[in-house]
Structure 1
Amino acid sequence: MGLEMRVLLVLAMAICLPSATYAADGTATFYTPPYVPSSCYGYQNDGVMVAAASDAIWGNRAACGRRYRVTCTGATNQGVPQPCKGTSVVVKIVDYCPPGCRGTIDLSQEAFTVIANPNAGKIKITSSCNGYQNDGVLIAAASAPIFNNKAACGRSYRVTCTGATNQGVPQPCKGTSVVVKIVDLCPSPGCQATLDLSQEAFATIANPDAGKITIEYNQV
């Protein structure tokens, strides 16, 4: 079923869209520094936007290196009834949260603080449409108007670059189009575009250095 084609904006942020998206609903806790050594990378320093995976997503180390966008959706305790800050955070899995882990994902203290009041300790989270399903790399996150409380999950859109949004790359378009599947939400207020394409999808239609472009898109 086709939809009327419209000219809008798209922003490429590949790290926000893992090829295997995070569980649709779960909980997050946090742990404190030091973050090395880690189960995945030993003494390699991967910064502070990191997380440890519970058995639900660890997969015998298969989760190592995956990046997940995590969004706070609500409280788990009455002490902090409104913990969420209305933002999301992208974290890299570098460690294992062993049996007894209190959350689906155990965020670094810094990552947890980006999305919620750390006094909450544990929060409800959401991040995707399809749980642990691997939808490949030609995927996208939809802004709230398109996402429509997950109604857009699984829809495919043909996206074509039509022009530039910045003078740094005045002619970003490659003259091609790409079909992407909606697998995630690009949350407000941080989302800067109508569609947030994977890096691979964006690079198919435009110069990635542009970062943000004007597009035409329609449902296919």
Structure 2
Amino acid sequence: MHGTHLCITGQPDERSLRLRYMHNQSYGFNSFEPGDSVEIVNVHTLLGEFAGRVTDTKRIDDYEWTVTLDRVIGSLDIEDGRAVENISATPSLRVANSYFTLVPTRGILVTTRRRVEIYGNIFDRIPMPAIHISDDVRGWYESGPVRDVTIKGNRFVECGSPVVCVNPETDRYEGPVHTGIRIIDNEFIMNGGEAIGARGVADVTVSGNKISGRHEAQPVRVDTDR
């Protein structure tokens, strides 16, 4: 559950951006409508640098669009890498009382700034992280940051490590990407590795979790400075 980053390839004028879909599995549709709010994101830090409201969009081809905003954008370092996310068209998510197994990848991939609630579920031997919070602008182009996530009362049975993974794909650290994460009252039955691994975060609560089985000496890792 995520949005799509479109990379900025040009600035036709002081209020307009030329944008491109970068992944060959996501293109051909208009990601923006007049009235939508957008954020310009640094591809290296994943932090927002400018926000505006869409006044017009024009299709160039299946991959490229021009978007006009309601204000002067100013000079952007396009060569260094900048992208745009539609922050109006972001989903909320509630996953409750479900059973996950026989999944070849992750159980849940979620990266959205609206409310996320994941509670009362069983994740049974998911080979990768059972819950993965990412955000990137250089691979899958899956946006954006999380601001309000509750992971509560779930049971994780021998899933991949880290079982709950928060890993924004940055190569420069200038501040936290993800905030407002609560991982509480879960049960982790481990078969190696970490129960919780998080980086690029702030305002994270980890409490009341039960961790058993074979795991790292420190099964919970929360890095707030990288």
Normalising by structure 2, we get a TM-score of 0.32
Higher helix share: 1
Higher strand share: 2
Q: Which has the higher contact order (CA 8 A, sep 6+)?
A: 1
The higher radius of gyration belongs to: 2
